[in-house]
Structure 1
């Protein structure tokens, strides 16, 4: 195992800055996921770590050793690509052991490493097949085997599941997590899929336009996003955002949410942090995740310190495990994730309890979490 550290790393292509002053670290055995929309710089950052690109500034350190000028083959890193990058004229066995043979590893040692990896990935019956004879999932296993057989100190994954169908992607995601738990090797994984990020990572690094927005464990990123971008990108469906005003009522802090034709809805903020007091009377952005809007049965009271929002249902989307309900709140379209057993139809009135203790407030000017 090894540690990885990036210190103020930037990459420029002429006047375009693809990565800007990124600093982060990966501890021994950690699984860091770089996530963000297309073009945010996450694959460029992975290539910088691998040595496939050279940093314009900053330092890349592996086990506290600067590796900016170290050749990719000497960084003790193995990379799994999106395209698998298998040699079509070689069978699975030769694809997996190609790197070992190129470095002159003795045959007995190669065979031992091959057997170990093939058993771990359950691809022993495939060793004599060519890549064209394999399914997408089998090819991905072979690509992973080629990386694993080197026993590297750090694994790099560049969107390895993006070419697979939804069912196989789920299976391979579980397989990658299981393998990481067994091997304990440090890993950096790039994806644009925030569900992959949430399920695989020990920590998530969210990027936008080459800039690191937040790096934290999945729960922190989900429940305490650093800004509006992170709150919107992480979560499916993403967080609801409503323009609001921070007020004080009955000695407690809360927000007023605008409603068309009605008085503003007051939402108390129990256990509001002391810093909220600086925003009293000012405009904020109120954020609440769909999971934190609970449908109430007719006549059912809400728990204390929870505001009740009465809305008219616009669209209902059953997903099997739960139901998405879309409705307007003032000029904003909202979505709630409610129990699949709740009988809700478009046009009906629905009462929702807001779990105010799990909401967020953002600065409408900067987008930063308050």
Structure 2
């Protein structure tokens, strides 16, 4: 295992900056997921770590030693690509052991490594086949085997599951997590799929336009996003955003939400702090996850409720999504699968303000 550190790393192609002053660390055995929309710089950052692209500024360190000028083959890093990158004319066995052979590894050692990896990935029965005879999931297992056989210090994954169908993605995602738990090797994984990020990561690094937005464990990123971009990108369905005003009502600090001429509601913020109090009267954005909203039940108070007309109901099996418009905003609530609400029903919606997020309306940063 090895630690990885990026210190103020930047990359430009000509005058176009792609990665901008990124600093982060990957501890021994950690699984870091780089996530963000297409073009945010996450794959470029992975290539910089691998040494496939030279950095423009900054420092990349493996086990506290700078590798800026170290050739990719000498960084003790193995990379698994989106396209598998297998040799079509070679058998699975030769694809997996080819790199070891080129390094002059003895045949007995190659055979032992092949046996170990094939057993871990459960591909013993595929060793005599060629890539054209394999399914997408099998090819990805072979690509992973080729990386694992070297026993590297760090694994790099560049969207390895994006070419697989939904069922295979789920299976391979579970397999990758199981393998990481078994091997304990440090890993950096790139994806644009926030579900993959949430399920695989020890920590998630969210990127936008080459800039690191937040790096934290999945629960922290989901529950306390650093800004509106992270809040919107992480979570499915995405967070609801409501324009609001911070006010004091009696002893409670909270937000006033709603349109002039329509229903307006006061939502107390139990977790409000000094930063909120300093902004009294200011325009903010209230962020509510779909599960923070639910149809009111008998006996509940009305301190944090509002009335809405549900126009779309989407059963998903495990949940039911309720879509509606309120305060000029399109919103969604996640409720239990046996919800009796039907399209066209008018319901009172309860708001769990204890878990709400509040953002600056101008900068989008969390308050």
Q: Which bracket does the TM-score occupy, shorter chain normalised?
A: over 0.9
Asked if the contact 1:259/1:265 (under 8 Å) is kept, the reply is: no
The residue number in structure 2 matching 1:88 is 88
Confirm whether residue 349 of structure 1 aligns to residue 346 of structure 2. Answer: yes
Confirm whether residue 327 of structure 1 aligns to residue 324 of structure 2. Answer: yes
Asked if the contact 1:8/1:21 (under 8 Å) is kept, the reply is: yes
The residue number in structure 2 matching 1:358 is 355
Unaligned stretches of 5+ residues in structure 1? none
Q: Give the secondary structure class of the aligned counterpart of 1:366.
A: coil
Cα 1:78–1:123, aligned 2, differ >3 Å: closer, same or farther?
same
Confirm whether residue 301 of structure 1 aligns to residue 317 of structure 2. Answer: no
Q: Give the secondary structure class of the aligned counterpart of 1:38.
A: coil
Q: Give the secondary structure class of the aligned counterpart of 1:48.
A: helix
The residue number in structure 1 matching 2:102 is 102
Could you tell me how far 1:162 is from its partner in structure 2? 0.2
The residue number in structure 2 matching 1:67 is 67
Could you tell me how far 1:228 is from its partner in structure 2? 0.6
Q: Give the secondary structure class of the aligned counterpart of 1:169.
A: helix
The residue number in structure 2 matching 1:314 is 311
The residue number in structure 1 matching 2:119 is 119
Q: Give the secondary structure class of the aligned counterpart of 1:93.
A: helix
Could you tell me how far 1:259 is from its partner in structure 2? 3.8
Cα deviation digits, residues 169-214 of structure 1 (max 9, x gap): 0000000000000000000000000000000000000000000000
Matches within 5 A, 1:195-344: 195-259=195-259, 261-297=261-297, 299-302=298-301, 307-344=304-341
Asked if the contact 1:260/1:331 (under 8 Å) is kept, the reply is: no
Q: Give the secondary structure class of the aligned counterpart of 1:245.
A: strand
Asked if the contact 1:158/1:191 (under 8 Å) is kept, the reply is: yes
1:199 and 1:234 map into 2 onto residues whose CA distance is: 12
Could you tell me how far 1:264 is from its partner in structure 2? 1.4
Confirm whether residue 131 of structure 1 aligns to residue 137 of structure 2. Answer: no
1:309 and 1:343 map into 2 onto residues whose CA distance is: 18
Q: Give the secondary structure class of the aligned counterpart of 1:320.
A: coil
1:240 and 1:151 map into 2 onto residues whose CA distance is: 45
Could you tell me how far 1:273 is from its partner in structure 2? 1.5
How large is the Cα RMSD of the aligned pairs?
1.0
4+ residue runs over 4 A deviation: none
1:209 and 1:336 map into 2 onto residues whose CA distance is: 30
Could you tell me how far 1:260 is from its partner in structure 2? 6.3
Could you tell me how far 1:160 is from its partner in structure 2? 0.1
2:260 and 2:196 map into 1 onto residues whose CA distance is: 38
Tell which deviates more after alignment, 146-155 or 348-357. Answer: 348-357
Matches within 5 A, 1:161-176: 161-176=161-176
Tell which deviates more after alignment, 134-143 or 251-260. Answer: 251-260
1:279 and 1:316 map into 2 onto residues whose CA distance is: 37
Q: Give the secondary structure class of the aligned counterpart of 2:278.
A: helix
1:260 and 1:157 map into 2 onto residues whose CA distance is: 51
1:271 and 1:125 map into 2 onto residues whose CA distance is: 57
The residue number in structure 1 matching 2:160 is 160
Q: Give the secondary structure class of the aligned counterpart of 1:262.
A: coil
Could you tell me how far 1:262 is from its partner in structure 2? 2.7
Cα deviation digits, residues 236-271 of structure 1 (max 9, x gap): 011100000001011110101114643411101113
Tell which deviates more after alignment, 251-260 or 194-203. Answer: 251-260
